[in-house]
Amino acid sequence: MSYMNANGSFFLWDWILWMGFIFLVFSSIGTWGYTYRAHRKFDGSQRKDAATILNERYASGEITRDQYREMKIEMATV
């Protein structure tokens, strides 16, 4: 049995189907790579807890000592 008829039309369809398959494979790999990088960029390990944020704000002079103490007491009760 031959994959081509007299004018070679089946041969063309083979190439089209293989190129489509290769395109799908590469686009799937690209999509996986993009989502992998996006999840690494926005994962939960970069989040700061409330105490760290409060200490940074006090160290930068954004809040006063009294405000710092009040917020620290509120954090302990919550």
Domain shared by 40 and 11, yes or no? yes
Domain shared by 33 and 16, yes or no? yes
Q: Is 59 helix (H, G, I), strand (E, B) or coil?
A: helix
Query: When comparing pLDDT for 64 and 78, which is higher?
Result: 64
In this prediction, residues 2-27 reach a mean pLDDT of: 79
Domain shared by 38 and 58, yes or no? no
pLDDT tens across 24-68, in order?
999 999 999 998 888 877 765 566 788 899 999 999 999 999 999
Q: What is the pLDDT of residue 8?
A: 58
Q: What is the pLDDT of residue 54?
A: 92
DSSP codes, 10-61 = HHHHHHHHHHHHHHHHHHHHHHHHHHHHHHHHT-GGG---HHHHHHHHHHTT
Domain shared by 53 and 39, yes or no? no
Report residue 5's pLDDT band, with 50, 70 and 90 as the boundaries. low
Domain shared by 37 and 72, yes or no? no
